[in-house]
Amino acid sequence: NAGVTQTPKFHILKIGQSMTLQCTQDMNHNYMYWYRQDPGMGLKLIYYSVGAGITDKGEVPNGYNVSRSTTEDFPLRLELAAPSQTSVYFCASVQPGGLGTGELFFGEGSRLTVL
Amino acid sequence: AQRVTQPEKLLSVFKGAPVELKCNYSYSGSPELFWYVQYSRQRLQLLLRHISRESIKGFTADLNKGETSFHLKKPFAQEEDSAMYYCALSGGSNYKLTFGKGTLLTVNP
């Protein structure tokens, strides 16, 4: 049981290029999330999904796209990368249950630099 | 709108000293509050949640609805407690978490 796996761990991108950050989980969780973490700013929600075929915007969705074709995978695509997208990206998943459950399981993060 | 405030970016204490990491929140309904921790070179992980009223690694946190606070406390800090701590709020469906900006705790020997 690997939990939440993200690839790549590190990547350098040129301005204007596009790329996809991969996220997969083997816990059969319905809910998945993408956050970005910037120094001194905490984590901001980019996009989330409550199940295959369903996605929705979070707090900072501009410049990103997602898809959810399977329960396991939730890739994040950066279109026309900009320096402002330099960040550490975290994927997370949760299986909703009763009140008090809902612990998010996080991946190890993907550190992206846009130059 | 929901908001989580952690007023201290950095907190430094000596081993054996008490530690308190502050967290205040803003939410109109009944929130679920969490503390997540990120140790060096490790992934973010849940430390504790208010609904469980549990003590994990000697840490406790009590939800004070009157003061809208969820401060994290430990009576005797250990060096291995050095980490980044995030307070988070889940205010509705979909388990979307709103995070504070985090407090970096350093426990000195």
CB < 8 Å from A in window 54-93 of B: 86, 90
Q: Which of A42, A48, A50 sits opposite B99 (nearest CB)?
A: A42
Residue B100 to residues A40, A61, A115, Cα–Cα distance (Å) = 10, 19, 28
Q: Is A84 helix (H, G, I), strand (E, B) or coil?
A: helix
DSSP of chain B: --EEE---SEEEEETTS-EEE--EEE-SS--EEEEEEE-TTS--EEEEEGGGT--BTTBEE--BTTTTB--EEESS--GGG-EEEEEEEE-SGGGPEEE---EEEEEE-
List pLDDT tens digits, range A5-38. 999 999 999 999 999 999 999 999 999 999 999 9
Among B5, B43, B54, B90, pick the best mutation site for testing chain A contact (most A Cβ within 10 A).
B43
Residue A84 to residues A9, A66, A79, A107, B93, Cα–Cα distance (Å) = 19, 18, 13, 22, 30
List pLDDT tens digits, range B40-96. 988 999 999 887 777 889 999 988 989 999 999 999 999 999 999 999 998 776 778
The Cα A108–Cα A113 span in angstroms is: 16
Residue of A nearest to B51 (CA): A100
Do residues A60 and A76 touch, judged by C-beta distance below 8 A? Answer: no
Q: Which of A31, A40, A41 sits opposite B95 (nearest CB)?
A: A31
Q: Please state the rounded mean pLDDT for residues B29-41.
A: 90
Q: Do A94 and B46 touch (CB under 8 A)?
A: no
Do residues A40 and B9 touch, judged by C-beta distance below 8 A? Answer: yes
Residues of chain A short of pLDDT 70, as ranges, are 97-102
- What is the reported pLDDT for A98? 52
The contacts of residue B22 (CB under 8 Å, 6+ apart) are B6, B7, B8, B69, B71, B103
Do residues A90 and A43 touch, judged by C-beta distance below 8 A? Answer: yes
Q: What is the mean pLDDT of chain A?
A: 92
The Cα A96–Cα B2 span in angstroms is: 20
